[in-house]
């Protein structure tokens, strides 16, 4: 006989952790299955740790709404639990007239999304704020910042556990099968294969979330859930560049990413990136041949940078719904009732701003789960 539970969460990245914490407080039996030895070893610890304002995304998209809501929740949680952060602000810079027009569009988009503190900066205004940055104009976002995402992961994990969520590490979900009104979750661990039965399944499997949806019986081609991996490299800069710039600096966004940005991490390291290029495999090695491209990109807005001061740092891989050259895709966060799978909640394509939005995403999923049980 399989053990019966209320909610099975697949994946203990920031989204699985925040969701488990949210649902466990509703006094539900929540089990989190994670294939790695502990939480947060994949995309949730391979990112820029930027608290995004919510500027770039189309109005009314989940990305826009959950980013703006999540940002506020995140700053409050950081304050309450002494998680280190720096509300440094961010400037998106324009290198030419085309990009200035782009900044104006971003300004309007941000305002529509509820980001009402944005300011367009002339070259002189930008120079006053950041004397070492070279650009024709800028867009200042005061509510952007950086934070210690590892402390967030730890806090969410310990709070979820306190509220009663059970974490099952080193355990891979290898099957999800509809069994009447419930789901049988097949798991593989050191002892072999076994099963749980759950009323609700929340798929927070990050880079694997399309495959989990497919395992459960969703036609991922028809639903357009197939993920594309988009790798981002980071390079670090010599410590002599420390304190040269005090805000996050972003160039105009690229098609697949936000552009190679400048960030001074909370520990003082100066980091550049991430780049954005589609890959077939999950391989976290840094492609050092990208050094010149990083240099060329950063040199445009920070002419002081020297090529030999760049060192390969780390990488992350975005779980993107949008393939190369394709248009914007929103987060998929949906109860698959319409496809005949009530209580199967898929979260697919949770790329940036997923970290910023994590607490708001958890609330959103929490209300779906609550509806399911009422
Ligand atoms: C380069 C880069 C930069 C980014 N920068 C930012 C940023 O600055 N700000 C921001 O807001 N967002 C940023 N993001 C996005 C953010 O990091 C993600 O949205 C977020 O971490 C996604 O969390 P997750 O829990 O969905 O995924 P993950 O952290 O990948 O967690 C998924 C978990 O599921 C587990 N899993 C998968 N399959 C199975 C299975 N079959 N059985 C059991 N467990 C399984 C995995 O082991 C993993 O632990 C960035 C992303 C990238 C790649």
For a ligand 1 pocket test, name from 17, 40, 42 the mutation site with the most ligand atoms within 8 angstroms of its C-beta. Answer: 42
44-62 tens-digit pLDDT: 999 999 999 999 999 999 9
Ligand 1 neighbourhood includes 210 CB (under 6 angstroms):
no
> What pLDDT does residue 27 have?
79
DSSP lists the bridge partners of residue 77 as none
- Segment among 1-10, 181-190, 330-339, 352-361 with least mean pLDDT: 1-10
Percent with pLDDT over 90 in the chain: 95
* For residue 272, pLDDT beyond 70: yes
Supply the pLDDT for residue 54. 97
DSSP characters over 78-139: HHHTT--EE---EEEEESSHHHHHHHHHHHHHHHHTT-TT-EEEEHHHHHHH-TT---SEEE
Cα separation, 265 vs 270, whole angstroms: 6
Calculate how far, in angstroms, residue 44's C-alpha sits from the geometric centre of ligand 1.
4
Residue 259 pLDDT class (50, 70, 90 cuts): confident
Instruction: Note every long-range contact of 59-63, with CB atoms under 8 Å and residues 24 or more positions apart, other chains counting.
Output: 59/109, 59/112, 59/113, 61/328, 61/330, 61/331, 62/330, 62/331, 62/333, 62/364, 63/330, 63/331, 63/353, 63/357
Q: Is 313 exposed, middle or buried (0-12, 13-18, 19+ CB in 10 A)?
A: middle
User: 350 in ligand 1 pocket by Cβ < 6 Å?
Assistant: yes
Question: What three-state secondary structure class fits 327?
Answer: coil
Half-sphere exposure of 116 (CA within 13 A, CB side): 1
What pLDDT, in 10s, does the model give residues 202-222?
999 999 999 999 999 999 999
Q: Quote the ligand 1 centre to 308 CA distance (angstroms).
A: 32
Asked if residue 29 has pLDDT above 70, the reply is: yes
Q: Is 334 in the pocket of ligand 1 (CB under 6 A)?
A: no
Of all atoms in ligand 1, which is nearest to the CA of residue 204?
26
Distances (CA, A) of 63 to 22, 24, 181, 258: 19, 25, 31, 14
Cα distance between residue 347 and residue 77, in whole Å = 23
Which atom of ligand 1 has the smallest separation from the CA of 274? 1
Tell me what the pLDDT averaged over the chain comes to: 96
Please tell me if the CB atom of residue 47 comes closer than 6 angstroms to any atom of ligand 1.
Answer: yes
- Determine the distance separating the centroid of ligand 1 and the alpha carbon of 25, expressed in angstroms: 23
How far is Cα 308 from Cα 237, in angstroms, rounded to an integer? 9
CB atoms within 10 A of CB 271: 19
CA 257 to chain CA mean position, Å: 12
Ligand 1 centroid from CA 130, angstroms:
32
**Span 125-175, pLDDT tens digits:** 999 999 999 999 999 999 999 999 999 999 999 999 999 999 999 999 999
Ligand 1 centroid to residue 349 C-alpha, Å:
9
Determine the distance separating the centroid of ligand 1 and the alpha carbon of 13, expressed in angstroms. 6
- Global confidence as pTM: 0.98
Which pLDDT tens digit goes with each residue over 53-112?
999 999 999 999 999 999 999 999 999 999 999 999 999 999 999 999 999 999 999 999
Ligand 1, atom nearest to 353 Cα:
11
């Amino acid at each position: 006989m399989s053990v019966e539970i209320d909610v099975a969460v697949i994946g203990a990245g920031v989204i699985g952790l925040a969701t488990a914490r949210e649902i466990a407080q509703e006094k539900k039996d929540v089990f989190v299955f994670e294939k790695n030895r502990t939480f947060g070893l994949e995309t949730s610890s391979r990112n820029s740790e930027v608290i995004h304002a919510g500027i770039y995304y189309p109005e009314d998209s989940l990305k826009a709404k959950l980013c703006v809501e999540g940002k506020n929740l995140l700053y409050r949680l950081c304050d309450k639990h002494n998680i280190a952060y720096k509300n440094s602000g961010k400037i998106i810079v324009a290198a030419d007239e085309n990009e200035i027009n782009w900044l104006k569009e971003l300004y309007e988009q941000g305002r529509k999304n509820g980001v009402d503190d944005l300011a367009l900066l002339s070259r002189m205004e930008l120079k006053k704020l950041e004397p070492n940055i070279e650009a024709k104009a800028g867009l200042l976002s005061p509510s952007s910042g950086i934070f210690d995402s590892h402390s967030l992961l730890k806090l969410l994990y310990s709070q979820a556990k306190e509220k009663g969520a059970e974490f099952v590490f080193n355990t891979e979900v290898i099957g999800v099968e509809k069994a009447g009104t419930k789901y049988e979750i097949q798991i593989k661990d050191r002892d072999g294969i076994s099963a749980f039965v759950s009323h609700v399944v929340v798929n927070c499997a990050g880079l694997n979330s399309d495959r989990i949806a497919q395992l459960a019986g969703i036609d991922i081609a028809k639903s357009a859930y197939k993920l594309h991996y988009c790798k981002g490299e980071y390079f670090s800069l010599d410590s002599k560049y420390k304190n040269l710039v005090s805000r996050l600096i972003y160039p105009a966004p690229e098609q697949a990413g936000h552009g190679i940005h400048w960030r001074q991490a909370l520990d003082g390291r100066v980091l550049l990136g991430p780049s954005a290029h589609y890959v077939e495999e999950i391989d976290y090695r840094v492609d050092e041949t990208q050094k010149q491209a990083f240099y060329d990109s950063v040199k445009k807005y920070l002419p002081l940078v020297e090529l030999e001061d760049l060192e390969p740092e780390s990488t992350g891989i975005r779980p993107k719904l949008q393939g190369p050259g394709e248009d914007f895709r929103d987060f998929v966060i949906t109860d698959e009732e319409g496809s005949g799978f009530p209580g199967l909640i898929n979260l697919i394509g949770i790329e940036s701003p997923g970290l910023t939005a994590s607490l708001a995403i958890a609330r959103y999923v929490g209300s779906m789960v609550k509806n399911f049980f009422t």
